[in-house]
């Protein structure tokens, strides 16, 4: 059901420049052409009874409750399926309409349990409300006839119950699954009275193709599909609008509350970018916030081998400050640093970098964006002038050709994937560039025109070949290039890209992709209308990650696919605030707004604001910190909200570096793997416990609102403030809005951002300043931020991580819908029911050669180390490639990944690791006892 505070207008809004005027119950109404009579009435406060209609779905006209009378027309048309016409005169109430509606309700209620007082939907049930509206007082048919009242409940889904005894077969759930989510998991089984809602082929929800996005639950007008949390806790009494803390889509939610307790999270139908949609993580997997594993008291210890000791906040902060001072006094100013979190708010990330630059006196600050999208920052800034995607998500609905490269949106960015699939169902062409057969290659009612199934590590060769086709076949947009791009750079690039070694035929042996497919895909991209690129970590986490970002920018500029709706180059950011943490200066070489620390004018503004002199030199990046720790020159680290011991590559290297440090502070929700090497643990707060803002992949700044008090007593920004104060640098903020005001004062692209404006507009896409007071959905319109677009030569340089007889397979990694990154949150929710362990996907040919059967335990060995996983034999991967997720610490996926990294940014090359896979024996024993307890081995 909808949120308790939602208004339902019955049918979706229509966009039209033509306005239509009509009269409803004597009231003049003017609405865009195409609007339904039902919606037109609702817009002026006239409520026409309805059941099968809701404004998130196309009208269906089945319940016959929204009947109206229209002057000059015979009969009683359904107002949901009747579009408005000029001069129309509509009557919504009459004795006849009342009788018809009551008769319909009588039929519904004759096959519906009369348990309203004990029903979980009591107080928020459309059927109950409609029974009251139509004045139903008795049911003439009795309740003894054939009915569905004893239909068994399906409680298989961990988050919601399906109770068919309460179902009125309005099809809202089926339509929501089709129209909104695009999974087509639900159907109507049977005909007439036997019609029932069915997941798949009359399967239980848990066994069906249902992805638990919750769209059906939200669409249901009764308690047929209802959250278990509502059954347990009852209806909420107030709502708070906030922003999801999972992926980079950044969905807006209404937290439905009972006091300080969350009853349920409902996607905000008025909030961007999701407009009422959600995925299983954002909608349901928030229980980690109150999980018993949460640490709620600060902890300290002298040595990492000592047991933790609970202390007061004052003692912990003082201990932390003293430790940092001691290290700096002993080893010098540059011996300490910090890692800001891409999970925390903009304001919190800003304070961490301020702490480092203003208090530590160096620039040794980095963020977990280092290990995901730092190449995006480098590449897009170089090509276009700013380190961010070019479009808003809604732009995909104007695309004619959608190229998805190195990302798996149905798993990683599900709400955006639903928009993308909708556009493909409307006729847009899809090109998938991925080593695996991801779901988008072929899923119900969506099929990629081309799947370029390249070998991991050959992205640049492939994108160069596509650009070669565009240039050599005369498919460039010369007018765009002449007007918008630097012509010298273009000529150099054109000469380079035209060389025969960049042709599809020449790169076919490198990429493994047939030349004719590359040629066809390039022609489609160049000539198919609005062409847009969406990409993920399959682009960035390579030794040539930055080169590939530049290569995509080259292709987009060469074909003129930049600077309007429906086109662009767009990173799908992994974490909720990767974009934001980078925007607010978390990289060691940049202050807020991506301005280099060496720029004296920029630095001077910060020096005035903060009252200190800033170091002009770039600081250490995360991998440099580890290297410096091992050489003895980096001795202290403050880590806010990142589990580097689990998420960073070559775990042995990382843990050796952590052990080499003298003082480590970890601030997190849980005692994570990194905390094993820490001397201070400062308990952090979840997104439900803090105020602030997140910035999503489309540069959208959205408010995060505190819905419950911090379990440990402090929001994360308050902890950093306390630490700064203890280090004798006063930070005097009473609310994160004051931190945002400071960011706005110091950052031209944020100059117009304030909490007041965010509250008024709902969200803002930066740049937001005098030129764009309400933000900028599409960038580089008319002119690139850097002036002229820059083409860059993108030579393909093979990674040094090569296969060999000893390591003949390439391991690549990714994530799955129900789990999130290293699983710190999702493993502490019922989502584990879908993904209890990480598996190694292996092609049948490779499995057969090794005698591996489905489910066998196998050892994965790389040059860095080895780990064990169970095998899943599948043709989703190509021969020679194996794949795993990294959501469970016991999988130790990063024990095998190497320190290879992107040439420009040191982003780790997670996506290419040469490995061997061996069957472990004896099989039966492994199956009985679970994962074998192999010692972590170093092959180096």
Partner 1 sequence: MDISRLVSMANQIAAFFEAWPDKDEARKNVAQHLRNFWEPRMRKEIIDFVRNGGDGGLKSLAREAVLLLAAETQSANNAT
- Interacting residues with partner 1 (CB under 8 A): 334, 363-364, 492, 495-496, 543-544, 546-547, 588-589, 596, 598, 617-621, 624, 627-628, 630-631, 633, 793, 795, 797, 800, 899, 901, 903-906
Least distance from partner 1 to the Cβ atom of residue 937, Å? 22
CA–CA dist 694, 99 (Å, integer):
51
**193-213 burial code (b ≥16 CB/10 A, e <16):** eeeebbbbeeeebeebebbbb
CA–CA dist 386, 807 (Å, integer):
40
Asked if omega into 273 is within 30° of 0 (cis), the reply is yes
Count of CB atoms within 10 A of residue 373's CB?
A: 36
Asked if 597 contacts 589 with a C-beta cutoff of 8 angstroms, the reply is: yes
Least distance from partner 1 to the Cβ atom of residue 501, Å? 11
Count of CB atoms within 10 A of residue 582's CB?
A: 27
Least distance from partner 1 to the Cβ atom of residue 384, Å? 18
Least distance from partner 1 to the Cβ atom of residue 481, Å? 19
Residue that has been written with the tokens 């008319």 in this structure: 782
For partner 1, which is the closer residue by CB, 395 or 581?
581
Three-state SS across 666-715?
A: EEECCCCCHHHHCCEEEECCCHHHCCEEEECCCCEEEEECCCCCCCCCCC
For partner 1, which is the closer residue by CB, 333 or 853?
333
Least distance from partner 1 to the Cβ atom of residue 246, Å? 30
CA–CA dist 466, 521 (Å, integer):
8
Sequence-separated (6 or more) residues with CB below 8 Å from residue 159: 212, 214, 227, 228, 229, 280, 283, 284, 830
Least distance from partner 1 to the Cβ atom of residue 506, Å? 16
For partner 1, which is the closer residue by CB, 269 or 790?
790
SS3 content of the chain, % helix, strand, coil (to 5): 35, 20, 45
Least distance from partner 1 to the Cβ atom of residue 489, Å? 11
Least distance from partner 1 to the Cβ atom of residue 34, Å? 52
Tokens linked to 506: 């020449």
For partner 1, which is the closer residue by CB, 157 or 906?
906
Beta strands per DSSP E along 800-845? 809-814, 839-842
For partner 1, which is the closer residue by CB, 337 or 777?
337
For partner 1, which is the closer residue by CB, 116 or 630?
630
Asked if 874 contacts 437 with a C-beta cutoff of 8 angstroms, the reply is: no
Least distance from partner 1 to the Cβ atom of residue 619, Å? 6
For strand 336-340 and strand 365-367, is the pairing parallel, antiparallel, or unpaired? parallel
For partner 1, which is the closer residue by CB, 115 or 495?
495
CA–CA dist 528, 424 (Å, integer):
13
Least distance from partner 1 to the Cβ atom of residue 631, Å? 5
For partner 1, which is the closer residue by CB, 365 or 403?
365
Count of CB atoms within 10 A of residue 739's CB?
A: 23
Nearest to 159 by CA among 254, 300, 287: 287
Least distance from partner 1 to the Cβ atom of residue 365, Å? 11
Tokens linked to 457: 């590590």
For partner 1, which is the closer residue by CB, 79 or 905?
905
Residue 799, SS3? coil
Residue that has been written with the tokens 């998991």 in this structure: 185
For partner 1, which is the closer residue by CB, 264 or 603?
603
CA–CA dist 52, 248 (Å, integer):
33
CA-based torsion, 9, 14, 17, 23: positive or negative: negative
| ∠ CA 430-432-433, rounded to 5° | 150
For partner 1, which is the closer residue by CB, 592 or 821?
592
Least distance from partner 1 to the Cβ atom of residue 628, Å? 6
What is the full DSSP assignment across 128-153? HHHHHHTT----TT-S-SS-STTPPP
For partner 1, which is the closer residue by CB, 164 or 619?
619
> How many residues are there in the chain?
940
Least distance from partner 1 to the Cβ atom of residue 421, Å? 36
Query: Using the 8-state DSSP alphabet, how is residue 307 labeled?
Result: P
For partner 1, which is the closer residue by CB, 546 or 696?
546
For partner 1, which is the closer residue by CB, 363 or 824?
363
- By CB neighbour count within 10 A (0-12 exposed, 13-18 middle, 19+ buried), where does 269 fall? buried
Least distance from partner 1 to the Cβ atom of residue 589, Å? 6
213, HSE (Cβ side, Cα atoms, 13 Å)? 34
Least distance from partner 1 to the Cβ atom of residue 557, Å? 18
**117-137 burial code (b ≥16 CB/10 A, e <16):** eebbbeebbbbbebbebbebe
For partner 1, which is the closer residue by CB, 260 or 598?
598
Least distance from partner 1 to the Cβ atom of residue 653, Å? 10
For partner 1, which is the closer residue by CB, 188 or 492?
492
């Amino acid at each position: 059901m909808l949120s308790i505070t939602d208004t339902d207008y019955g049918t979706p809004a229509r966009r039209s420049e033509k306005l239509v005027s009509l009269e409803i119950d004597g009231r003049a109404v003017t609405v865009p052409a195409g609007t339904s009579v039902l919606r037109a009435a609702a817009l002026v406060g006239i409520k026409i009874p309805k059941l099968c209609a809701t404004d998130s779905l196309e009208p269906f006209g089945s319940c016959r409750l929204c009947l109206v009378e229209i002057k000059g027309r015979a009969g009683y048309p359904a107002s949901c399926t009747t579009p408005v016409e000029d001069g129309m005169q509509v009557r919504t109430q009459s004795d006849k309409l009342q009788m018809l509606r009551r008769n319909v309700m009588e039929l519904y209620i004759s096959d519906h349990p009369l348990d309203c007082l004990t029903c979980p939907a009591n107080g928020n049930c459309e059927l109950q409300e409609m029974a009251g509206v139509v004045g139903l007082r008795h049911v003439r048919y009795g309740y003894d006839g054939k009915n569905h009242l004893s239909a068994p409940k399906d409680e298989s889904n961990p988050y919601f119950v399906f109770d068919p005894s309460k179902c009125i077969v309005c099809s809202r759930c089926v339509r929501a699954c089709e129209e909104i989510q695009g999974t087509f998991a639900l159907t109507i089984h049977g005909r007439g009275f036997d019609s029932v809602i069915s997941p798949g082929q009359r399967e239980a929800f848990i066994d069906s193709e249902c992805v638990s996005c919750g769209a059906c639950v939200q669409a249901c007008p009764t308690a047929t599909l209802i959250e278990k949390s509502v059954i347990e806790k009852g209806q909420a009494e107030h709502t708070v609008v906030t922003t999801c803390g999972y992926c980079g889509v950044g969905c807006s939610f209404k937290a439905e509350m009972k006091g300080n307790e969350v009853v349920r999270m409902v996607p905000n139908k008025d909030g961007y970018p999701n407009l009422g949609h959600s995925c299983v993580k954002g909608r349901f997997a928030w229980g980690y916030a109150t999980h018993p594993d949460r640490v709620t008291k600060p902890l300290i210890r002298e040595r990492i081998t000592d047991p933790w000791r609970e202390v007061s906040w004052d003692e912990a902060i003082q201990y932390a400050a003293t430790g940092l001072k001691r290290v700096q006094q002993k080893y010098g100013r540059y011996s300490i640093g910090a890692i800001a979190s891409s999970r925390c708010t903009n304001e919190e990330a800003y304070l961490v970098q301020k702490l480092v630059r203003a208090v530590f006196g160096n620039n040794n600050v980095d963020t977990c964006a280092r290990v995901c999208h730092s190449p995006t920052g480098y590449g897009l800034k170089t090509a276009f002038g700013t380190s961010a995607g070019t479009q808003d998500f809604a732009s995909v609905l104007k695309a004619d050709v959608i190229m998805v490269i190195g990302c798996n949106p149905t798993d990683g960015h599900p709400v955006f994937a639903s928009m993308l699939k909708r556009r493909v169902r409307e006729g847009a062409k899809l090109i998938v560039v991925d080593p695996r057969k991801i779901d988008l290659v072929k899923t119900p009612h969506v099929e990629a025109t081309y799947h370029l199934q390249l070998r991991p590590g050959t992205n640049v060769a492939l994108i160069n070949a596509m650009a070669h086709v565009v240039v050599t076949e005369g498919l460039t947009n010369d007018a765009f290039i002449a007007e918008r791009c630097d012509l010298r750079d273009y000529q150099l690039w054109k000469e380079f890209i035209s060389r025969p070694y960049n042709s599809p035929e020449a790169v076919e042996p490198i990429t493994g992709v047939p030349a004719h497919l590359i040629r066809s895909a390039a022609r489609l991209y160049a000539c198919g209308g609005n062409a847009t690129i969406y990409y993920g970590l399959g682009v960035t986490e390579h030794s040539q990650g930055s080169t590939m970002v530049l290569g995509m920018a080259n292709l987009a500029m060469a074909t003129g696919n930049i600077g309007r709706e429906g086109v662009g180059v767009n990173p799908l950011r992994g974490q909720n605030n990767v974009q934001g943490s980078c925007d607010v200066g978390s990289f060691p070489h940049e202050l807020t707004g991506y301005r280099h620390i060496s720029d004296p004018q920029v630095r001077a503004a910060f020096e005035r604001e903060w009252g200190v002199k800033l170091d002009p030199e770039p600081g250490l990046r995360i991998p440099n910190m580890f290297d410096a720790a091992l050489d003895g020159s980096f001795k202290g680290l403050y880590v806010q909200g990142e589990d580097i011991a689990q998420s960073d590559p070559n775990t042995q290297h990382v843990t050796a570096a952590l052990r080499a440090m003298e003082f480590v502070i970890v601030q997190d929700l849980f005692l994570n793997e990194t905390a094993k090497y820490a001397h201070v643990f400062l308990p952090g707060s979840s997104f439900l416990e803090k105020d602030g803002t997140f910035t999503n992949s489309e540069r959208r700044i959205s408010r995060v609102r505190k819905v419950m008090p911090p379990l440990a007593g402090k929001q994360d920004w308050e902890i950093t403030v306390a630490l700064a104060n203890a280090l004798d640098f006063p930070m005097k903020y009473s609310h994160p809005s004051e931190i945002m005001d400071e960011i706005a004062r110091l950052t031209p692209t944020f100059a117009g951002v304030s909490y007041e404006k965010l509250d008024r507009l709902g969200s803002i896409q930066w740049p937001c300043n005098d030129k764009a007071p309400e933000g900028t959905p599409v960038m580089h319109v008319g002119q690139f931020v850097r002036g002229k677009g820059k083409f860059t030569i993108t030579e393909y340089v093979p990674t040094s991580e090569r296969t060999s007889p000893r390591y003949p397979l390439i391991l690549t990694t990714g994530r799955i819908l129900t789990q999130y990154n290293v699983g710190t949150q999702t493993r502490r929710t019922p989502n584990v029911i879908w993904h209890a362990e990480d598996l190694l996907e292996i092609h049948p040919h490779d499995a057969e050669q090794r005698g591996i059967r489905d489910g066998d335990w196998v050892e994965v060995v790389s040059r860095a180390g080895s780990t064990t996983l169970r095998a899943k034999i599948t043709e989703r991967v190509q021969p020679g490639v194996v794949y795993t997720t990294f959501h469970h610490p016991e999988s130790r996926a990063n024990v095998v990944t190497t320190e290879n990294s992107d040439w420009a940014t040191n982003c780790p090359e997670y996506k290419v690791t040469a490995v061997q896979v061996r069957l472990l024996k004896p099989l039966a024993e492994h199956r009985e006892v679970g994962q074998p307890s192999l010692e972590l081995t170093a092959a180096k």
